[in-house]
């Protein structure tokens, strides 16, 4: 591994100063991606700034704004959190799929987001929950909707000296639920050939879909919302035919490639299937039958 300097700040202001240092500075939230990238010479660094010792970046709590997830809080903590398992079930699904248990104990949700891999497991559910990224930097903090956070594979809107401070997920309404599923060639510890997260808010009396969100992984240069599928669902009475129509519509957001892990056509079919299945899981979690 190439040599680099290392710093472990304990305050936001110290971290901002270090992140603004001249040269190539990398933020380390968990390091499960970054260290491997440095070892393989896929990334370089003059300075690595370990953010795990900053209290604000370890935050995991709900308040009137919603659920706050500090950028360095590990996946295991999020996966087992009672609020997450009660109100954000899709996030519990996805954080339990990031590598092995050992990796989940170290890897951070914020790091999974900032790595900006199209196949990231946590990102689709964060998109369906309309998460907001709070970014710290030399000019203070700014908020960016997560839908606008990704600009390409491995690329985000983060500028020199900036780093992700936390993610905020609005409190979901009653009679709503989310779910995440992916398809992988192996039983575990693999990246998604395709992944889908769905969120539904349904009126249980009329079975009308009041709000729908669908997001896809591994089928575009960045994680992407399937807005056509959302439009199919919203304002309609939920039914098996409507769910099937939404699955077909979700493919419109996919621009998959063909590689050794699957063809573009195969990935499109996975989007259809996984969209239908995650919508069905949402309905089961809400307690609405079709």
Q: Could you tell me the CATH number of the domain that includes residue 246? A: 3.30.390.50
Range of the domain at 219: 176-286
Question: How many helices and strands in the chain, by DSSP H and E?
Answer: 11, 14
Instruction: Answer yes or no: do 69 and 139 share one domain.
Output: yes
Instruction: Answer yes or no: do 233 and 276 share one domain.
Output: yes
Instruction: Answer yes or no: do 147 and 90 share one domain.
Output: yes
pLDDT on residue 45: 95
Domain harbouring 161, CATH code: 3.30.465.10
Estimate the crossing angle of helix 264-286 against helix 240-250, to 10 degrees.
140
Calpha distance 232→212 (Å, rounded):
9
- DSSP 8-state code for residue 74: B
Instruction: Answer yes or no: do 114 and 34 share one domain.
Output: no
Quote the number of domains for the chain. 3
Does pTM surpass 0.85? Answer: yes
Query: Which structure tokens are listed for 242?
Result: 């409507």
Identify the three-state secondary structure at position 105. Answer: helix
Q: Count the Cβ atoms, other than its own, within 10 Å of residue 31.
A: 19
Calpha distance 215→154 (Å, rounded):
18
pLDDT one digit per residue (tens) for the chain, 290 residues: 789 999 999 999 999 999 999 999 999 999 988 999 999 998 999 999 999 999 999 999 999 999 999 999 999 999 999 999 999 999 999 999 998 899 999 999 999 999 999 999 999 999 999 999 999 999 999 999 999 999 999 999 999 999 999 999 999 999 999 999 999 987 666 789 999 999 999 999 999 999 999 999 999 999 999 999 999 999 999 999 999 999 999 999 999 999 988 999 999 999 999 999 999 999 999 999 99
Instruction: Answer yes or no: do 195 and 235 share one domain.
Output: yes
pLDDT on residue 189: 65
């Amino acid at each position: 591994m190439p040599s680099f300097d290392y710093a472990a700040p304990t305050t936001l202001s110290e971290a901002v100063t270090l992140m603004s240092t001249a040269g190539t500075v990398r933020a380390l939230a968990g390091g499960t991606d970054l260290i491997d990238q440095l070892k393989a010479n896929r990334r370089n660094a003059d300075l690595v700034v370990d953010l795990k010792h900053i209290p604000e970046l370890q935050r995991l709590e709900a308040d009137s704004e919603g659920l706050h997830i500090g950028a360095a809080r590990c996946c295991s903590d999020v996966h087992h959190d009672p609020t997450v398992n009660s109100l954000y079930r899709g996030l519990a699904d996805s954080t339990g799929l990031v590598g092995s248990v050992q990796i989940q104990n170290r890897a951070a949700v914020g790091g999974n987001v900032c790595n900006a891999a199209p196949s990231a497991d946590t990102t689709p559910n964060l998109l369906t929950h309309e998460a907001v990224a709070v970014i710290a930097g030399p000019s203070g903090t700014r908020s960016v909707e997560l839908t606008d956070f990704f600009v390409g594979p491995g690329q985000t809107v983060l500028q020199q000296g900036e780093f992700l401070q936390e993610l905020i997920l609005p409190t979901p309404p009653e009679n709503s639920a989310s779910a995440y599923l992916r398809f992988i060639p192996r039983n575990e510890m693999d990246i998604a050939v395709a992944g889908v997260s769905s969120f539904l808010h349904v009126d249980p009396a009329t079975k009308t879909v009041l709000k729908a969100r669908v997001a896809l992984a591994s089928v575009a240069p960045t994680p992407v919302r399937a807005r056509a599928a959302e439009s199919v669902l919203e304002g309609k009475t939920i039914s098996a035919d409507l769910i099937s129509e939404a699955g077909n519509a979700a493919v419109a957001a996919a621009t998959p490639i063909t590689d050794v892990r699957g063809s573009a056509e195969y990935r499109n079919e996975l989007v259809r299937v996984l969209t239908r299945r995650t919508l069905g899981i949402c309905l089961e979690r809400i307690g609405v039958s079709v």
